[in-house]
Structure formats: structure tokens, C-alpha cells
Amino acid sequence: MILEDFETFCDDVVARNSKFIVVGDFNLDFPGEKFYLLKIKDQFSSKGIKLLFYGPNRLTIDTSTLEDYVLSNEDRASVLVHGTTKLSDHPVLSVN
């Protein structure tokens, strides 16, 4: 399963005491999948990894879902949302 592979990746990075920021379109709608949201949040938080972007970020006329994630074990990392463009139904994000 992809999430297990990602968890292994996180374990490896954390074991090396490396700082990282992962940005991606995971195509997991956590607000719609409470079971997976809680499971993944628990896995991440036990490793010191935070989900930095919480709001809906794939917006269409009929839906509003959370599919883009910014994850980090860097304490100072933050995310700014700059709105959407005509090129995508996802907002433009910048990570500081």
C-alpha cells in the first residue's frame, strides 16, 4: 500500500535526524475519510511530522476536498495559500 511505503520513507528520514518537507497531491480526501485521517495523523505525529495545510484545496463547483498535503518535521515550516489559477483546480501554495 502506498501509505505504508510513505510511512517507511518517513521512518528512514526521521531515523537519520534529517529535516524534510513533503508537498504532494496525495489524492486522499481526509475530511471524507475520517478513519484514514486519524490513522495517518497518529502515524505522523508519533514521528514528529506535522500536517501544515488543513483547509480544502481542491475546489470545484460541486465539491471541496483536501487532497494536497504539506508535511514536515521542520518546526519553522509554514504554508501560504495564494489562490487558484486557470491552469488547475488546486490552489498555489508556497512553503517557507
Classify the C-alpha dihedral 25-28-29-34 as positive or negative: negative
- Asked if residue 58 lies in contact with residue 9, where contact means CB atoms within 8 angstroms, the answer is no
Q: Quick one: pLDDT at residue 27?
A: 65
**Domain span at 45:** 2-95
Instruction: Give CA–CA dist 69/49, Å, rounded.
Output: 12
Contacts of 56 (CB under 8 A, 6+ apart): 31, 64, 65, 66
Instruction: Give CA–CA dist 42/9, Å, rounded.
Output: 16
Question: Which residue numbers in the chain have pLDDT < 50?
Answer: none
How many domains does the chain fold into?
A: 1
Q: Quick one: pLDDT at residue 77?
A: 86
Q: Grid coordinates standing for 72?
A: 514536515
